[in-house]
Amino acid sequence: MGFTRCLYDQYLFYRQQGSYVLLLLIYVDDILLTGSSPSQISAFITHLSSVFRMKDLGDVHYFLGLQITRTDTALTITQTRYLLSLLHKFGLAGAKPVATPIASGTNLSATNGTLLSDPMPFRQLMGSLQYLTLTRPDISYVVHHVCQYMHAPREPHLIAVKRIFRYLKGTLDIGLHFVPMPLTTLHGFYDADWAGCKDDRRSTSGFAIYMGANLLSWGAKKQATVSRSTAEAEYRALAATTAELMWFMNLLKSIGYCLPPPKLYYDNISAITMAKNPVFHHRTKHIEIDVHFVRERVASGALLLEHVAGIAQLADILTKPLCSDKFVLNRDKLLIGSQPS
Question: Cβ distance 294 to 271 under 8 Å?
Answer: no
pLDDT on residue 229 = 85
Q: Which amino acid is at 339?
A: Q
- Give the span between the Cα atoms of 226 and 283, in whole angstroms: 15
> Tell me: the pLDDT tens digits for 7-56?
999 999 999 888 889 999 999 989 999 999 899 999 999 999 999 998 89
Of the candidates 320, 326, 330, 327, the residue with the CA atom closest to the CA atom of residue 204: 320
pLDDT band of residue 260 (cuts 50, 70, 90) is very high
State the Cα–Cα distance between residues 107 and 99, nearest whole angstrom.
18
Which pLDDT score, from 0 to 100, does residue 157 have? 96
| Strand partners of residue 75 | 70, 178
Of 80-84, 166-170, 258-262, 274-278, give the lowest mean pLDDT range. 274-278
In this prediction, residue 341 carries a pLDDT of 35
Strands 263-266 and 186-193: parallel
Tell me how many helices (H) and strands (E) the chain has: 10, 13
Edge-to-edge strands of the sheet including 12-17? Answer: 4-5, 12-17, 20-27, 30-35
Strands of 304-307's sheet, edge to edge? 214-222, 204-211, 186-193, 263-266, 304-307
**Average pLDDT value for the chain:** 89
Contact 287, 235 (CB under 8 A): yes
Using pLDDT thresholds of 50, 70 and 90, give the confidence band for residue 327.
very high
Q: State yes or no: pLDDT of 205 exceeds 70.
A: yes
pLDDT for residue 335: 65
Return the percentage of the chain with pLDDT > 70, whole number.
Answer: 93
Q: Which domains does the chain have, with CATH numbers?
A: 4-58 (no CATH), 78-169 (no CATH), 182-333 (3.30.420.10)
Residue 286 pLDDT greater than 70, yes or no: no
pLDDT in tens, 146-179: 999 999 999 999 999 999 999 999 999 889 999 8
* pTM, rounded to two decimals: 0.88
Q: What percent of the chain has pLDDT over 90?
A: 62
- 332, pLDDT greater than 80: yes
The pLDDT of residue 105 is: 87
The 3-state DSSP composition of the chain as helix, strand, coil percent (nearest 5) reads 40, 20, 40
- pLDDT tops 60 at residue 328: yes
pLDDT higher than 60, residue 339: no
